[in-house]
Structure 1
Amino acid sequence: MYTFQEQLERIKDGKGFIAALDQSGGSTPKALLGYGVTDNQYKDETEMFQLIHNMRTRVISDKNFSQDKILGVILFEKTMKGLIANEAVPSYLLEKHIVPFLKIDKGLEDLKDGVKLMKPIPNLESRLSEAKGLGIFGTKMRSVIYEDNIKGISDIVKQQFAVGAEIIASGLVPILEPEVDIHAEDKPEIEAILKKHILLELDKLKADQSVILKLTLPTVPDFYKDLVNHAKVVRVFALSGGYDIDTANTLLTKNKGVIASFSRALLNDLKFQQSETEFSTALAGAIDSIYKASIT
């Protein structure tokens, strides 16, 4: 059995990266389009979700998608409840010694004070209980910062940590993702304010509380070093944020101790029309490059 403590130690100290396969309903059409599936190839939401599940199944079951380079996977809720080879997806991953996480946020509020906060997350307690019962180790939730606005950035960080406390109380480990938009005009200034407020919230955590941070690759190399080394931070992940895989990997190598948690950068070269050999080769190339950037 792959215990919670073993999973925690793997996420904290393991060599590899996190695969983000958590595109939600709103972003699924775009994800499918990137995969070479247009919206006229499915007639309704049910078929759409089946196609994206088929894509994720193809990725997760590939021989190259292994514990050697993949530490964990962030899942969409429908994927968590789905099957691969007649087995629940979290169980399938755990058998491969890959740690399963669940995306729990329900999208973003409208822009206010330069940020988009998370929408309320309904039935959180029951959803966390169900996830834990299925073998989920932790959760992920995303909000986005677009402008240099102290109030907005402070509000985002406080919201992330408040929901994070509920996740911890449920026995799961939260990934807090206050993304900074890569096109923000004052990106370095935003990152300075963000780090300051994250450190303030980390210092409020109790002895038995810790979090994972998932952050946009910073403008200044090693800017999040003090977060990487913080006693309350299990690990710092980096999101690709719209960067292509080469750019994301290059930036990642400039941030020691940070590992990738890429989605688009991981999946970009995978196409529905590829043969199994072509698909596997493309996936192996992406995995290898992201792995090397994560351990450099």
Structure 2
Amino acid sequence: MNTSQLPATAPAPSGTQYRLSAGTHRATITEVGAMVREYSVDGRDVFVPFDEHEPAPVFNAAVLVPWPNRLRDGRYTTDDGETHQLPLSEPDRATALHGLGCWYRWSAVEVADHAVTLELALPAQKGWPFQLTTRVRYALDAEQGLEVRVTTRNVGTGTAPYGVGFHPWLSAGGADLDDCTVRLDATEHVTVDDRLLPTGVEPVAGDHDLRTTRSLAGLDLDDAWVGATRDERGLSWCRLGCPDGRTAAVWADTSMDCWQVCSADHITGHERLGLAAEPMSCYADAFNTGDRLVRLSPGEEHEVRWGATLL
């Protein structure tokens, strides 16, 4: 075997780094997972960053395709009656978590100072007999902040079940999460069992009514919401208000009606590191419930748009 052309050292676990800038906005996008490794404004983190020499510790701003959140027992049945079994990536809860795209290397399609477009050709594999191509474009604007567009096309021959989500952790700017506030534009809360799999939907109430600004002190969240409400531009928001007077915020357009919000109280080693504000096209176990599930026919495309900024 001729090893003369093999690299002498391994690349960084997060792969090539694409560094973007516009005004005082800075972002770094990774080759592995097409993740936002860091995003800051005026030197202040909007997202909780991670080091390029480590794998993303908590799905940091990952693209969650072809499904977000949890899939019960990693098993689902397609419209043709075939049952498929995926590896259980969350063994403690016996679920397949956050899709398949997080640990692939995405190819650069277009690179500019303020924007980058990456693409993943997701191959058929164990438990996933479909072929999808996903393209994500990250762009910074000096006034508006970060905008993300994701388009997925079914390049295979069968109709594929599909959902997409994103996993940014909003940064408290060095403060304790207990000293921050949260606000979420959503009217219905998803109830879950002890595996965090959905059991129903209820009107927001009590600790799950985040339609007005409330303190995060003592609030333990790892929940989904639907029924997104929107501003005059058609955007639904999740906001983390911080003691420094700034608000780290994520928005989603009408292509996504679901949110997952997590305060990381039970993530060992990362407790309350920030607030996950996850826009999603569907919530957990959509492959089985069918709720808000997209069925991509051969040649069909699906597009979503979201973004973030520091207010």
Q: Same fold per TM (> 0.5)? A: no
TM-score by length of 2: 0.31
Question: Which is greater in Rg?
Answer: 2
Higher strand proportion: 2
Task: Select the structure that is richer in helix.
Answer: 1
